Amino acid sequence: MVPLDLADDLRAQGLQVTAQRLAVLEAVRANSHASADSVWEFAVTRIGSISRQAVYDALAALTEAGLVRRIQPAGSPARFEGRVHDNHHHMICRECGHLVDVDCAAGAVPCLTPSDSHGFEVDEAEVVYWGRCATCKDNGESQIPVAALTLTGKNSTTKT
Q: How high is the pLDDT of residue 116?
A: 80
Q: Does domain 4-71 have CATH number 3.40.50.300?
A: no
DSSP 3-state of 120: coil
pLDDT of residue 3: 60
Domain boundaries, the chain: 4-71, 86-160
**Is the omega angle on the peptide bond into residue 110 within 30 degrees of 0, that is, cis?**
yes
Predicted local distance difference test score (pLDDT) of residue 89: 85
Tell me the mean pLDDT per 10 residues along the chain, length 160: 78 95 96 94 95 98 96 88 85 89 73 79 83 90 49 38
> pLDDT tens for residues 52-90?
999 999 999 999 999 999 998 888 889 999 998 777 888
The pLDDT score that the predictor gives to residue 43 is 97
pLDDT at 107: 63
pLDDT of 152 reads 41
Q: Which residues are CB-contacts of 3 (< 8 A; sequence separation ≥ 6)?
A: 26
* Best CA proximity match to 89, nearest among 77, 76, 105: 105
